[in-house]
Amino acid sequence: MGAVDRLPRDQNICLIDGDSLLYYEMDKPTLEEAIAGLENRFATIMEQCNTNKYVGFLTEGRCFRYGVSPIYKGNRKGKSKPPVWYALREYMRQTMGFYGYAALEADDLASYYSYTIPHKTIVCSPDKDVLGQCTGMHYNYQKAEFWHTSAEDANKFLWKQVLMGDSTDNIKGLPGVGEKTSDNWLKNRKNDFEAFALKKYVEKFGMVEGVMKFHETFRLVYLLKTHEDVLRETGLDLPQWGDEDFKVQQLIVHEVEVEEPW
């Protein structure tokens, strides 16, 4: 994964993870200030990505991962959202066209469409899972940085997460295994990641429990990337580019005016 320069104008579509935009602005004293902050961040994304096309995603309700593990994001319980969060999310839906699907997180949708639509895309998110797991071009709007993630780096990042878990989302992984250990285990490995990770789980927990915990952790950390992934985990039949009855507006691609740089 490496930094790249600002992109030239092209037919890119920004796939925007709207959840972080919400969280960055939700503590503003008033809705007006939150909207102003949101619109400023959004304008910067579009200017930096040098395109006027975007699709904006939001998480709607509880995602399927809560059914995989009862402790998923359990470390966040009791943290209520301020009223501005709810009003700002509605503004993003009604005014900016952001949307989501029940049982899916915004980063799953950004991941899914980055793999399934036949257009150049820039995934816009500061989320480490999105930056690490999705191949292709990224814009981290928290740091104002472009990154390109290779298929090799994305695969290694996924299996690193399976081994160490993700404390941010209360995903346990292997006890005592952190970033340093998982990096050392994987740094020289070129293939057989799945077999290696499964072996580590079985060594730690025994055959039956090890296989079960391995399977659970994989489902929790893996971002959905294909139509089959979404069907398997949620039963949702998301619109696919290329279906006979597919209409572009189902994807809700929006266009905004972006000033040409001098």
pLDDT tens track for 93-116:
999 989 899 999 999 999 999 998
How far apart, in whole angstroms, are the C-alpha atoms of residue 148 and residue 96? Answer: 27
Q: Per-residue confidence at 139, pLDDT binned at 50, 70, 90?
A: very high
Residues of the chain with pLDDT > 70: what percent? 87
How far apart, in whole angstroms, are the C-alpha atoms of residue 195 and residue 112? Answer: 25
Return the higher-pLDDT residue of 9 and 81.
Answer: 81
pLDDT of 3 higher than 60: no
- Beta carbons within 10 angstroms of residue 126's beta carbon: 18
According to DSSP, residue 8 is labeled: P
Q: Where are the domains of the chain?
A: 2-149+226-255, 152-221
In words, the CATH class of domain 2-149+226-255 is: alpha beta
- Contact predicate 254/130, CB 8 Å: no
pLDDT of 5 higher than 60: no
According to DSSP, residue 171 is labeled: B
- Contact predicate 139/49, CB 8 Å: yes
Convert the pLDDT of each residue in 214-232 to its tens digit.
999 999 999 999 999 999 9
At residue 262, the pLDDT reads 41
- 152-221 CATH pick, 3.40.50, 2.30.30, 1.10.150, 2.30.29: 1.10.150
pLDDT of 233 higher than 60: yes
